[in-house]
Amino acid sequence: MIRYPFMLCMLLFLLGTSIVPAQDTIFRLGPEQMEDGYLRFPPITEWKFKEGNDPNWAKPDYDDSQWIQMDSAQVMALSYDQQGVFEGWFRFQFQLESGFDQLPTFLVSSNVAATEVYLDGERAAQFGVIGGDIADYRRNRYTSDLIEVEPGKTYSMAIHFYDHMGKVTQFLLKDELKTLDPESFLVLATEAKAAEREALREKSLAYVQFTLGLTTVLSLLIWLIWALNRRHKHLLLLAILATANVGLPVKDASQWESYPRGGLLLNAEYEAFSLLIGVVSGVTLTVVLPMLLAMLFIGFIPKWLKITGAFVIFILAPFVTLTFTYDGFEWAQYLPPLVVVLAAGLCVFYLIKYRKEIRGAKWAIVIGLLVCAVMQAAGVIGARSGFIDRESLNYFIYLYTILIPVSFVVYVALWLRETQLSERKKALEVARVSRENQRILKEQNRTLDAEVQKRTRELRASLDNLKETQSQLIHAEKMASLGELTAGIAHEIKNPLNFINNFSELNAELLAELEEEITNGNLEEVKQLAKDIAENEQKITHHGQRADNIVRGMLQHSRSGDGK
């Protein structure tokens, strides 16, 4: 009889202890739990949680008996409200045991949400900024805070957890953005590990900033070169690819730097921002790279490639981005890798088919792409096999991110040099042809001068012959005219001379008859004959004067012609 009440009491005791709030449990953390300088707190499933916000919840004596203790499924199910806000408090007790070689006194949060940590009611650490106004909200930038803890002392830890998912994230990621994992997001780190973590963070930030700055400058340089050479379309494709490549360090920078909040894009939305940057950069690199190789090797972009690129950019990419989180569209997540594989295959096809065309500046792009592909493959394989740690993998990412625009700039520099040499060669060829033309022109001029001189001499000789012939013709004409004139003059003179000769012969006969008649004494006949002789003499004088007038007229005409 006594045994049964005792067993009943024991049962009630066990049941009671099973439902005792977790706040009564003190988690003891010892040196044996240290892992590489980190001391992780118990899982969230062993913490107490209450959604909402009340500053009194930070007090160590606050009664949290009504708070819940979640299992893994409940932790994974925590989500944002309709405004995209998740806010709640966690509470538990812990105690550091003695025996630590180096006491872990730096608190580190691996969650991006803004978090305030209270020890015994006093705020001991803060990660990000929990502001009353959304414009004041800042997410955790992976810093560490020094807290004052002592071994053997029990501390009441209250954690104010706040995150805000903005409009872009709500639209793109919807319910797929997890708030928490069951594992604790808070760890304690030694001073050396915290310093190492901070140095790594600063180094990573420096690498990101350097990569972002360098890739931005190189892309702007390529844009400037294209602006000065707009007729070369491959320079435009290079500028687009270099600009898309800037999205890789921008994606990483969004996790380390604070961005202006408010409006559509919030500082807290680096997930959505990274997604958008990744989609835009990935789609651009996937679509434009084969076009660049086509332009380099065949001189133009095939029409089918343009249509395919437009389909990927304006249809496939928006479809995958907007549907991959919906039930029934899980298969959409396999489309981007498929497109990337097809684009890579197309690039390999161009490289193999037109391998004989790879020379000069084109080697810069080909070598850059091959090295980046090898580095990506080595980074992925090394990271999955454990040969490459996260820091080394980041270096791989930063290196091939820089290598892409560097190879583009090297190509542009070599291309400009080749273009300059080609233009110089063309100029030299033009100068040589010009000199040859000048030589030929001079030779032709000399030949032409000789021919002109020869023709001139021939023309001069012909002219001299012509003049001589003309002179001869003139002389002949003059002689002919003179002959005609002489014949006319002779004819004109001959008539009076004939009369003179005739009358002279007649007078000679009449004088003979006159002497005979004088001898005969025939006076009448003598008188008649003397009269006839006198008449004939007058006629002879008349015709003599006529001939004299003709000769005098000729002389006067000759004198007047000489005077003219």
Q: Which residues pair with 38 in a beta bridge?
A: 35, 189
Q: What is the pLDDT of residue 335?
A: 82
Please identify which residue in the block is written with the tokens 């065309």. 357
Amino acid letter, 230: R
* Contact assessment for residue 204 and residue 256, using Cβ atoms and an 8 Å cutoff: yes
Alpha-carbon gap, residue 433 to 148, rounded angstroms: 87
Using alpha carbons, select from 231, 370, 347 the residue that is nearest to residue 285: 347
In three-state form (DSSP H/G/I as H, E/B as E, the rest C), the secondary structure along 478-534 is HHHHHHHHHHHHHHHHHHHHHHHHHHHHHHHHHHHHHHHHHHHCCHHHHHHHHHHHH
Alpha-carbon gap, residue 528 to 525, rounded angstroms: 5
Spell 122-150 as b/e; 16+ CB within 10 A means b.
Answer: eebbbbbebeeebeebbbbebbbbebebe
Q: What is the pLDDT of residue 443?
A: 87
Q: What is the pLDDT of residue 546?
A: 82
Q: What is the pLDDT of residue 326?
A: 59
| Cα–Cα–Cα angle for 424, 427, 430, rounded to 5 degrees | 155
Tokens of 12: 């009630």
Amino acid letter, 481: S
18 burial level (CB within 10 Å; 0-12, 13-18, 19+): exposed
- Torsion sign, CA atoms 527, 533, 539, 541: negative
Please name the residues in contact with 204: beta carbons below 8 A apart, sequence gap of 6 or more. Answer: 252, 256, 391, 394
Q: What is the pLDDT of residue 442?
A: 86
Please name the residues in contact with 210: beta carbons below 8 A apart, sequence gap of 6 or more. Answer: 398
Q: pLDDT tens, position by position, for the chain (564 residues)?
A: 334 444 444 444 433 433 333 346 889 999 999 988 899 999 999 999 999 999 999 999 999 989 999 998 888 888 777 777 888 999 999 999 988 888 888 998 888 788 999 999 999 999 888 865 556 677 777 778 888 888 999 999 999 998 877 665 555 555 445 568 788 889 999 988 888 888 877 887 788 788 888 888 999 999 999 999 898 999 999 999 999 888 766 655 555 444 333 333 344 455 566 667 777 888 888 899 999 999 999 989 999 999 999 998 888 888 877 766 555 666 777 788 888 889 989 999 999 999 888 888 999 999 988 888 888 788 778 777 777 776 677 777 778 788 888 999 999 999 999 888 888 888 889 988 888 888 888 888 888 888 888 888 888 888 888 778 877 777 777 777 777 777 777 777 878 888 888 888 888 888 888 888 888 878 888 888 888 888 888 888 888 888 888 888 777 776 765 544
Amino acid letter, 428: L
Dihedral, CA of residue 374, residue 389, residue 243 and residue 363, to nearest 10: -20
Please identify which residue in the block is written with the tokens 């994992």. 181
Q: What is the pLDDT of residue 349?
A: 92
Please name the residues in contact with 9: beta carbons below 8 A apart, sequence gap of 6 or more. Answer: none
